[in-house]
Amino acid sequence: MQKRNLSNLEVSAIGLGCMGMSFSYGPAKDKNEMISLLRDSVERGVTFFDTAEVYGPLVNEELVGEALEPYKDKVVIATKFGFELDPTGKAKWVGLTSKPVDIKKAVEGSLKRLRVEAIDLLYQHRVDPTVPIEEVAGAVKELIQSGKVKHFGLSEASAETIRRAHSVQPVTAVQSEYSIWWRKPEASVIPTLEELGIGFVPYSPLGRGFLTGKIEADASFESNDFRSTLPRFAPDALSANQNVVRILEDMAKKKDATPGQIALAWILAQKRWMVPIPGTTKLNRLEENIGAAQVELSTADLKEIEDAYSKLKVLGERYPEHIEAMTGK
Check whether 280 has a pLDDT greater than 70. yes
The percent of residues above 70 in pLDDT, for the chain, comes to 96
Structural domain includes residue 244: no
Structural domain includes residue 157: yes
As a whole number, mean pLDDT of residues 211-225 equals 91
Specify the pLDDT at position 323: 78
Structural domain includes residue 141: yes
Radius of gyration, CA atoms only, the chain = 19
Structural domain includes residue 311: no
Structural domain includes residue 253: no
The torsion of the CA quartet 31, 202, 54, 165, rounded to 10 degrees, works out to 140
Nearest 5°: phi and psi at 278?
Answer: -60, 145
- Whether 179 and 203 have beta carbons less than 8 Å apart is answered as no
Specify the pLDDT at position 183: 96
Strands 83-85 and 91-96: antiparallel
The torsion of the CA quartet 279, 282, 284, 288, rounded to 10 degrees, works out to 0
Which residues belong to the active site? 55
Check whether 91 has a pLDDT greater than 90. no
Structural domain includes residue 14: yes
Range(s) of the domain holding residue 102: 3-209+270-295
**pLDDT tens, residue by residue, 284-293:** 999 999 999 9
Specify the pLDDT at position 282: 97
**pLDDT tens, residue by residue, 168-216:** 999 999 999 999 999 999 999 999 999 999 999 999 999 999 999 999 9
Q: Give the CATH number, domain containing residue 87.
A: 3.20.20.100
Number of domains into which the chain is organized:
1
On average, the pLDDT of the chain sits at 94
Alpha carbon distances (Å) from 32 to 7, 112, 189, 224: 34, 20, 38, 22
Specify the pLDDT at position 93: 58
Burial class (CB in 10 A: 0-12, 13-18, 19+), 26: middle
Least confident of 128-132, 213-217, 276-280: 213-217
Specify the pLDDT at position 83: 92
Of the pLDDT bands very low, low, confident and very high (cuts 50, 70, 90), residue 22 is: very high
Of the pLDDT bands very low, low, confident and very high (cuts 50, 70, 90), residue 50 is: very high
pTM: 0.96
Check whether 322 has a pLDDT greater than 80. no
Structural domain includes residue 257: no
Structural domain includes residue 247: no
